[in-house]
């Protein structure tokens, strides 16, 4: 049986994979890859500070204490973003 956390992670991964497929091949324009803490965030995703993506593809870059920043999608911490792995 899948745990709630596992289901949430799976759902988030699926959403990222779908978004990558939908936006593949679009011109990047002025948008570029960004970073939140140690996590690389490739275009077409961005942080809410960059305002370079549709809101559904934005991560919040939150200070988790002592100046350590980590990306979150809602209340779920994002550990990595990969367009190749989905």
Q: Residue 66 has what pLDDT?
A: 87
Instruction: Quote the pTM value.
Output: 0.62
- pLDDT tops 70 at residue 24: no
Q: Is residue 85 part of a domain?
A: no
86 domain-assigned: no
* Number of domains observed in the structure of the chain: 1
Average pLDDT over every residue of 10-32: 62
pLDDT confidence bin for 69, thresholds 50/70/90? very high
With contact defined as beta carbons under 8 Å apart, do 77 and 70 qualify?
A: yes
Confidence of residue 28 (pLDDT cuts 50, 70, 90): very low
In the chain the first and final C-alpha atoms are separated, in Å, by 23
Average pLDDT of the segment spanning 56-69: 90
- 50-68 mean pLDDT: 85
pLDDT reported for residue 27:
44
- Up-side HSE of residue 40: CA atoms within 13 Å toward CB? 6
**Domain region containing 22:** 4-77
User: Per the domain annotation, does 83 fall within a domain?
Assistant: no
Does the residue 61 lie in any domain? yes
């Amino acid at each position: 049986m899948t745990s709630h956390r596992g289901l949430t992670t799976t759902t988030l991964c699926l959403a990222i994979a779908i978004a990558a497929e939908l936006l593949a091949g679009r011109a990047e324009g002025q948008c570029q890859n960004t970073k939140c803490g140690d996590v690389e965030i490739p275009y077409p995703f961005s942080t809410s500070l960059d305002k370079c993506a549709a809101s559904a593809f934005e991560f919040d870059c939150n200070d988790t204490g002592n100046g350590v920043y980590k990306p979150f999608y809602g209340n779920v911490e994002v550990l990595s973003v990969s367009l190749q792995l989905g």
